Amino acid sequence: MTVYLLIAILFSSIYIGVELFYKPLFAFFFKAIASMSFIVLGSVSLGMRISEALLFIVIGLLFGMVGDLILALRPLRPKEEDHTIILAGIISFSLGHIFYLLFLLEVSRFSFYSILFSIGMTIIVMVVSYAMKFQMGKTKIPSYIYSFLIFLMIGQAIVYYMQQGNTPNVMMILIGAFLFGISDLILAPIYYNHINHKAMIASNLITYYAAQILIAYSIFFL
């Protein structure tokens, strides 16, 4: 299992380097490999232990890979299609977070506090996006809905930790959820304010792939 984990880390690291220093078409190819690597890691971790809860994670990973490939089309398509591509990516990742949330609801009791946490964080996102003058176009409402979903997932991951304690699976899910949220918070100004510093892009990709790899690997410890 450690081999598959190291392979996922290796391919993700290679992709990040390619994304930062090579052409978009070349990066698209390596992004597909990197995203496939966390699917393989999750599937191998699943093994023969088929259960509804674990399948929810694998399906969430699959939607993540689809979202990755959709968003990787942005630099390859005309600028006019930018918001349409982002919207399609939002839909795919939203579905992924719904399946992660379904997993969390299978292994922990739902808490109303996760909704309050999500509402509070989404309001902060709305205020900050307004203050920073994000150019969101037709993706504004879908982006806020997505924000609610990801912070709902993070909130329920916190509840999972509070209910189950400090176990390897719980910690991987919790840290993975937080890294996912951090990744998206970094991504927002990249997409909506066109801040394309390599440091920001690298930070976004590192936190994103770390999140997906942790979530995929957590299956092994269930």
CB hemisphere CA count around 146 (13 angstroms): 22
CB hemisphere CA count around 48 (13 angstroms): 0
Are residues 71 and 28 in contact, defined by beta-carbon separation less than 8 angstroms? Answer: no
Q: How confident is the model at residue 48, as a pLDDT?
A: 59
Which residues in the chain show pLDDT less than 70? Answer: 1, 48-49
Residue ranges of alpha helices (H) inside the chain are 2-21, 24-46, 52-71, 82-107, 112-131, 140-164, 168-192, 198-218
CB hemisphere CA count around 220 (13 angstroms): 17
Q: How confident is the model at residue 45, as a pLDDT?
A: 80
> Domain span at residue 92?
2-221
- Total domains present in the chain: 1
Are residues 99 and 60 in contact, defined by beta-carbon separation less than 8 angstroms? Answer: yes
DSSP of 12-32: HHHHHHHHHHS-HHHHHHHHH
d(CA 85, CA 61): 19
Q: How confident is the model at residue 51, as a pLDDT?
A: 78
d(CA 86, CA 73): 10
Q: pLDDT above 70 covers what percent of the chain?
A: 99
* Token pair recorded at residue 173: 């899910």
